[in-house]
Amino acid sequence: SDHALSYPLSPDAIDWAALYPTSPSTPEFADVGCGFGGLLIALAPLFPDTPMLGMEIRVQVSQYVQDRIAALRATAAANPQSAPPGAYQNVSIVRANSMKFMPNYFPKHSLSALFFLFPDPHFKARKHKARIISPTLLAEYAYILKPGGIVYTITDVRDLHEWMKAHLEAFPLFEPASEEDLRAEGKGPILDAVYSSTEEGKKVERNQGDKWLACFRRIEVARI
């Protein structure tokens, strides 16, 4: 339940310096339902100048990720051989229900990447409205993404994959981006992390499950 959560009125109301002490700014990558933080912790050293934010609704899990980031920062500062002194300053997490008020966190056209990795499937039809991809939420995602920004989705649940793909295809501000094209653009390291850096992705690997990837580009002008 999220009844105890309070929300910022706008991105301007957020203390970005508390999240990114060495260079406060709004994030460029967002990981929705980040779980234990594996994706962002893999990406942070690869894109040291890109601020990235995880959103996680569970109290203990978001606290765990916060502690994990603090420990990585402290290790980097104390032990320059292990990582550059400023390492992991670009990664942070908030406890939030990402189905509410995304635009209160991310300014218009501010994100270049938005991740939905192994989201909860909500199998039953009456639960589909709880899915993280829906026409209403896609309008918010289109608003916070830059034109050219990428939505990355991956799941081991084929029905959820078809659902996310169908909704993104039907939305006029997104066009499919093939894995091949994204790799040709230099986004291979991001895709590799999407496939296998998260705790859920590793679990699917251990169980030899399938992984269904679908990526979409936020286009400049709506298709009509």
| 120 catalytic residue (yes or no) | yes
93 forms part of the interface with ligand SAM (CB under 6 A):
no
Q: Look up residue 223 and give its DSSP letter.
A: -
Catalytic residue among 2, 15, 67, 120: 120
Task: Kindly tell me which of 50 and 97 has the beta carbon lying closer to ligand SAM.
Answer: 97
- Strand residues in the chain grouped as ranges (E): 29-32, 52-56, 91-95, 111-117, 145-155, 174-176, 212-218
Angle, CA of 189, 191 and 194, to the nearest 5°: 115
Bridge-based pairing state of the strands 91-95 and 52-56 = parallel
Q: Is residue 61 within the footprint of ligand SAM (CB under 6 A)? A: yes
Q: How far is the CB of 124 from ligand SAM (least distance, A)?
A: 16
CA distance 57 to 214: 24
The size of the interface with ligand SAM (CB under 6 A), counted in residues, is 20
128 binds ligand SAM (CB under 6 A): no
Q: Which stretch binds ligand SAM (CB under 6 A): 45-53, 68-76, 116-124, 175-183?
A: 116-124
The CA–CA distances, whole Å, from 110 to 29, 75, 80, 102, 173 equal: 9, 30, 32, 12, 16
Site for ligand SAM in 20-59 (CB under 6 A): 33-35, 38, 55-58
**Footprint on this chain of ligand SAM (rule: CB under 6 A):** 33-35, 38, 55-58, 61, 97-99, 117-120, 198-201
Residues identified as active-site:
120
